[in-house]
Amino acid sequence: MPVKIFSASVVGIDAQLVEVEVDSSPGLFSLNIVGLPDKSVKESKERIAGAIKNSGLTPPSGKHKKIIINLAPADVKKEGPSYDLPIALGCILESKQAKFSPEKRLIVGEISLDGSIRHTSGVLSVAILAKKLGFKELIVPNVNAKEASVVGGINVIGAATLNDVIGHVTNLSPITPYAFSQQESENDTGDGDSLVHIKGQESAKRALFVAAAGGHNILMFGPPGSGKTILAKALSEILPPMALEESIEVARIHSSVGLIKDSYLSFKRPFRNPHHTTSAVAVIGGGVLPRPGEISLAHRGVLFMDELPEFARNVLEALRQPLEDGTVRISRAAGSIALPAKFMLVAAMNPCPCGNYGDNKLNCICSPISVIRYRKKISGPLLDRMDIQINVSRETPQDEAPKKPVNVEEMRRHITIAREIQAQRLSKADIYTNAEINFKNIDKYCILEPEAERMLQNAITAKNLSMRTYHKVKKLGRTMADLDGSEIIRENHIAEALAFRVNESMFSELA
């Protein structure tokens, strides 16, 4: 009778149950792995033989048997070394070198030749699957135990070697389940005082304040040296920490690509800053076997794209659908997956290739056609998806007159309160921020006083703006009302939202 060990495969960010079946028959020794394995899975038989031998047991080659290992279901591509541990235990159990019950146990892990167990990617998704399917125990590498313990309701066993696992499953030396402690989780927000050291740029700081409170996208337009990059990096410091559900959601994505290694759950929002030479697959996600890209790794956090026009056109245009839907669907011959991508896009760009167009003191060396070509790299549909569009002018020492310093703690407190108001209001819609409100429920959550509605409609009609802009301004006004503690969106909120959203001087200079 074949023996069966339960393991899991991670496709995208979701785990799928895999049954590892081991059977043998008399004959000359051979060991074959079937069930659509890739090269790394096929090579596991060499790692497993060495690990079993160096753990003081008889390897499969020590017995004259034909051994076949089946990874079911057979229509799912198996990749990676995480099947090493379940295959090794299956061989040991089938050869009767140890007796234990594999029922209600799910096992993943890579094995070294000396029998030690290495880090495995996607363990958090595996733990969520194990709990969902009713497994009582999850055996993982010791370095993954902290990560997997986030999921309650299942015993997480962290093992350092193959002998440790054998001792545990045979009850000779049981391992105590790893206990998750939320107090030990990482909530580091850095120094948190970058805004204090940025001189001037009061309008830009106000825009960052509003963007952080409502999760809005923001485009900063200005000459080099005006502080666009440091303003964007300072934004991540004033964002409130994630809730537990958000943190687990983000950790699943990072775990699937191996970015979580022997660490506690982090409540700090991710900040991703891809270089402008990054490919579309790396930004959006994909590959032969689809994997998350930068926009998914920035989920619930910030994606900062500096020098926006320098990114490839296909990269920029691929952002349009994720910015609208909060998800990205990647279809390949190997399968199709949907990945979460609810992020704040913070972009920065210069007015022209040399950066001096429109400057009163420096001369621009770019020809008019090159300036037009440079700005047209940002398409109208992408620009329309930017909630806030601001000019960031170059400050001079004379502009840095002593002003009331920015109170970052007070700013964080107001942002946190605004986010809590939004979370409570939007809980039934299963969204967290005003930026996520869609056209179906915008009239329910964004109620304007008559004067504010009249001002907005007049602006939309006079400037011939799109309905998307109409909705964006309403959502910006809703965030400003939340910051002021107002239940209704007032005229001053819409006036400021229009000033942030409808920036006529940004792209109309060359018209």
Q: What is the DSSP letter of 334?
A: T
Radius of gyration from C-alpha coordinates of the chain: 28
368: left (phi over 0), alpha (psi -120 to 50) or beta: alpha
Pair 59, 95: CB distance under 8 Å: no
175 and 121, same structural domain?
Answer: yes
To the nearest whole number, what is the mean pLDDT of the chain?
Answer: 89
| pLDDT at position 511 | 44
- CATH number for 28: 3.30.230.10
Tell me what the mean pLDDT of segment 6-25 comes to. Answer: 94
Q: How far is CA 250 from CA 182, 266, 323, in A?
A: 16, 9, 17
- Tell me: do 165 and 251 sit in the same domain: no
Handedness of CA 193, 392, 208, 399 (dihedral sign): positive
| 16, part of any domain | yes
Q: Residues 113-128: what's their mean pLDDT?
A: 94
Structural domain harbouring 111: 3-180
For the segment 67-95, the average pLDDT, to the nearest whole number, is: 93
Domain boundary, last residue among 414, 433, 452: 433
pLDDT band at 63 (very low <50, low <70, confident <90, very high): confident
**Extended strands (E) in 446-496:** none
How many domains is the chain built from?
2
* Domain edge (last residue) among 154, 180, 206: 180
Same domain, yes or no, for 171 and 218?
Answer: no
CB 24 within 8 A of CB 68: yes
What is the model's pLDDT at position 95?
A: 93
Give domain status of residue 344, yes or no. yes
Residue 328 and residue 286: Cα distance in Å, rounded? 10
Question: Tokens 């190997």 — which residue?
Answer: 334
What does the alpha-carbon distance between residue 459 and residue 470 come to, in Å, rounded to a whole number? 9
294 in the same domain as 426: yes
Identify whether 250 is part of a domain.
Answer: yes
| Band (210; pLDDT cuts 50, 70, 90) | very high
Do 198 and 176 share a structural domain?
A: no
110 and 221 fall within a common domain: no
Amino acid occupying residue 6: F
Q: Quickly state the pLDDT bin for 163 (edges 50, 70, 90).
A: very high
Q: For the residues 44-53, what does the mean pLDDT come to?
A: 93
Neighbouring residues of 461: CB distance < 8 A, sequence distance ≥ 6: none
Task: Tell me whether residue 262 is in a domain.
Answer: yes
Going by pLDDT thresholds of 50, 70 and 90, the confidence category of residue 186 is low
More confident call, 340 vs 263: 340
Residue 107 banded pLDDT, cuts 50, 70, 90: very high
Q: Note whether residue 493 is domain-resident.
A: no
DSSP 270-310: PEE---TT--HHHHHEETTTTEE-HHHHTTTSEEEESSGGG
What pLDDT score was predicted for residue 54?
95
User: Does residue 465 sit within a domain?
Assistant: no
For residues 68 and 156, membership in a common domain is answered with: yes
Do 167 and 298 sit in the same domain of this protein? no
pLDDT at 225: 85
| Same domain? 385 vs 255 | yes
Backbone angles phi, psi at 307, to 5 degrees: 55, 60
Is residue 51 situated within a structural domain? Answer: yes
Residues 208 and 299 occupy one common structural domain: yes
Mean pLDDT, rounded, for 444-467: 93
Nearest CA to 175 out of 187, 166, 183 is that of: 166
Q: Is 145:165 a contact under the CB 8 Å cutoff?
A: no
Look up the pTM and report it: 0.89
**Inter-CA distances, 413 with 209, 239, 282, 418, 483, Å:** 11, 10, 35, 9, 10
Q: How far apart are CA 21 and CA 4, in angstroms?
A: 5
Share of the chain above pLDDT 70, in %: 93
Q: Are residues 127 and 214 in the same domain?
A: no
**Sequence-separated (6 or more) residues with CB below 8 Å from residue 346:** 211, 217, 218, 220, 232, 235, 302, 303, 304, 305
Query: Which two structure tokens, joined as six digits, stand for 328?
Result: 């990205």
Residue 316, domain CATH: 3.40.50.300
Write the pLDDT tens digit of every residue in 231-250: 998 998 899 999 888 999 99
**Exposure letters 160-193 (e unless 16+ CB within 10 A, then b):** ebbbbbbbbbeeeeebeebebeeeebeeeeeeee
- With 0-12 / 13-18 / 19 or more C-beta atoms within 10 angstroms meaning exposed / middle / buried, residue 61 is middle
Q: Which of 433, 459, 485 is the last residue of a domain?
A: 433
Q: What mean pLDDT comes out for the span 399-424?
A: 82
Domain presence at residue 217: yes
Residues 409 and 308 in one domain: yes
What is d(CA 109, CA 94) in angstroms, rounded to the nearest whole number? 19
